[in-house]
Structures are given as C-alpha cells and as structure tokens.
Chain A
Amino acid sequence: MGDREIDQQLVERAQQGDKRAFELLVAKYQRKLARLLSRLIRDPAEIEDISQEAFIKAYRALPSFRGDSAFYTWLYRIGINTAKNFLMSQGRRAPTTTDFNAEEAETFDDADQLRDNNTPENELMSKQVAATVNKAVEGLPEELRVALTLREIEGMSYEDIAAMMDCPIGTVRSRIFRAREAVAERLRPLLGTGKDKRW
C-alpha cells in the first residue's frame, strides 16, 4: 500500500468517526504544514494557531474530501487559505508568491526560518531535536545510516535502495527500521513519554 493509499485509508477511517486516524495524519503532516505557513507568517505562535485552525477545518471538511487529490495537497490549500484569511483579518498582506504548489513548498530552504524565530524556547527545542537526531544518525553503522538517508532525504523506494546498496529488499527494510529505532531511542528521553510531559 503506497503512501497515498495510507493517507486515504486514514482519511476514510476518520470519516467513519475514528478521530485517532485523523491525529495520525496530523502527526505526519504537522511540521510540513508549519514549514509551509512559515513562508507567510513569521511568528511561531501564530503559525501554530493557524496550523491548528487549518487541521480543524480539514477535519470538519472531511465529508467532502473524495480523494481526487492527495490528502496533503488538499490540506495545504486549506492551510494557505487559513493563513491568508488570518493575514487579511489582521490588515496584513500575504507575500505575492503564495500560489505555489506543494512540491515548490518542499524545496524551500528553511535554515533562514530558524534564525528568524523570535521565541527562544521554540528555537531551543528545535535545535535540540535537530542536534540529537543528527548526532544519533552520525553514530550509526554506515549501512544503517546510508539506508535511512536514502529513504528520508532522497525519498528513494526500497527497491531502488536495494539496487543501490546491492542487497535484498528485506535487508533494506531491516536497516531502515533499525536506524529509526536507534535514533528514536536517543530522542525519547528528550521528548518524554510520561503523562506530565506535553509531548
């Protein structure tokens, strides 16, 4: 089942009343959407508000989502409109280049965004996570690091990774999973999984 089918499955489950399915979609796309919105809105607190608003709007509009487009495409349009409405209601104008497509948004270099954050806490958190992940990945055995990088950064399919690394697909599956687990182990203490922690 491909990525788009998984999203469609989750959407259908959400349409049948399964809110958790929707939360999984939120977990998957929340940061991607925030990065997109950061092209229009500077303040991280506002970005969060608008993200939340967009997700809620998407949830309410689920009955009308028929799967003609990918879920994220549909979501990002809702996100853009929510952001634009917000800016207009504030008397602010959106930057002129707002009618870009989802792929364009992906390639945006957001290193600048981090520097422009004016909330130290957010910046710190973001830096901590990035640092932890990077350190964990650097410490991985090479074959795990390569497999994870090819998958997450290059977006290659298992089949292509297998060809590239000259190993069976089963091995690719294993390596990516083990890489993720190793990094997750370093991340969990940072995020906390107890009830008292916000994560």
Chain B
Amino acid sequence: MKKQLSVLMDGELDDEESRVVLGKLKQDEALRGEWDIYHMIGDSLRQTPVWDEGFKQRFAERLAAEPTVLAPHPVRATTRPAVNWSLAASLAAVSLVAWTAFQLNQPDDAAKQAKNQEIASAVGGSLPQNLNYFLNAHQEYSVAAIHGASPYLQASLERQQGRAK
C-alpha cells in the first residue's frame, strides 16, 4: 500500500487504484503519516523550509472545530423521496443553478443523464412556490438586498406566472 501511495502522489497511478488508495487514506492513520512524510521529503529537497513544528496538530484542532462543509447532494430519506431542486431567478426566465457542477462521483454517464433530465423537467414545470415566497419575505428585511426593486416586483412576477398557467 505504501508503494501505491508513492506512485499515487506522483500522479502515476491508474484511476481505479487511485480511488482505492484515497479510500484507504481516509481510514488508515499510519498511511496518512506516510503521505505527510513523503511530501515533506519532496519539499525539503526543493528547499522549501520545513519550519512547521506543530503546524499539523494545531491545524487539525482548528479544523475539528470548524462546522463540516457539505456540498449539495440529494437527501436519501427513508420515508420520503428527495427531489433535486432548481431555483428560479427572481425576474424573467428560469435559470439552472450550478447544481450539475456539484454532482459528485457519479458512477456512470447514464446516471448523470437521468439526473439532468430530472432537473430539466423540474425547470419545465411549475416554479417552486415556496422559495419565491421566501425570497420575497427575506428581501423585505434585507438592507443589502441589491435586488432591482423587489420585494415589490416579486409579487408581480408571481401574478404574471399565475396568469401564464
């Protein structure tokens, strides 16, 4: 495994094996230690000063205190099926959020396509009512809402959409 780590670090391990090693890194503390030392050796050879006594420990403590970051993913609830959601711009046409850019580790292209279709149909259908109301409600209180002339326009947009149906 250490040898594969060495190859991985140089960007020379094939995709599948790379994923295996990355997975192992998550679980194996000793292997992470090897990652640290191997990188330190490289830095030292490149004359990057190694003045980081304790940095790793101190940073680990800070990171542990940070709220865990989560990029979007659909909720896989046991009782309720989740829906990918798309957001509408507050005026004019519906725009897709960079949701597709956040698709993580899709197993294959078919799944990706299916997901895109799901989003596309949500876009074609009715707008998520609640989000528009929430944006409206929020913008009534938001000083920094540099939003055209909403909240007044929000309601008129909804009326427009209501008429269009």
Contact surface of A with B, Cβ cutoff 8 Å: 1-6, 9-10, 12-24, 26-28, 30-32, 34-35, 38, 44, 48, 51-52, 55-56, 59-60, 62-63, 66, 110-111, 113-114, 117, 119, 121-123, 125-126, 129-130, 133-134, 137, 148-149, 151-153, 157-158, 173-174, 176-177, 180-181, 183-184, 187-188, 191, 193, 198-199
Contact = CB atoms under 8 A, between A and B. Distances in A.
B11 A10 contact: no
15 contacts: A5-B18, A17-B70, A19-B66, A24-B25, A31-B50, A60-B66, A62-B69, A123-B51, A125-B53, A149-B45, A153-B45, A158-B10, A176-B10, A181-B2, A193-B33
Nearest to B8: A6
Nearest to B29: A20
B134 interface: no
A4 B50 CA distance: 23
Contact of A9 (B3, B22, B34, B43): B22
B47 interface: yes
In the complex, the 10 A-B pairs of residues with the closest C-beta atoms, listed nearest first: A15-B71, A3-B11, A198-B54, A1-B18, A122-B51, A177-B6, A2-B11, A133-B44, A129-B50, A31-B43
A12 B104 contact: yes
A30 B104 contact: no
Contact of B70 (A10, A15, A187): A15
Contacts of A35: 48-49
B140 interface: no
Given A6-B8, A180-B41, A59 B69 contact: yes
Nearest to B70: A17
Contacts of A134: 44
Nearest to A7: B11
Nearest to B15: A1
A19 B43 CA distance: 23
Interface of B: 2-3, 6-15, 18-19, 22, 25-26, 32-60, 62-64, 66, 68-73, 98, 101-102, 104-105
Contact of A55 (B19, B43, B45, B59): B59
B51 A34 contact: yes
A56 B59 CA distance: 9
A191 B57 CA distance: 13
B69 A10 contact: no
Given A16-B73, A19-B68, A180-B6, 18 more contacts: A1-B8, A1-B13, A6-B8, A12-B71, A15-B104, A17-B70, A19-B66, A22-B63, A26-B63, A31-B52, A32-B48, A126-B49, A151-B10, A152-B46, A173-B7, A180-B38, A199-B56, A199-B57
Given A9-B18, A30-B55, A199-B56, A152 B49 contact: no
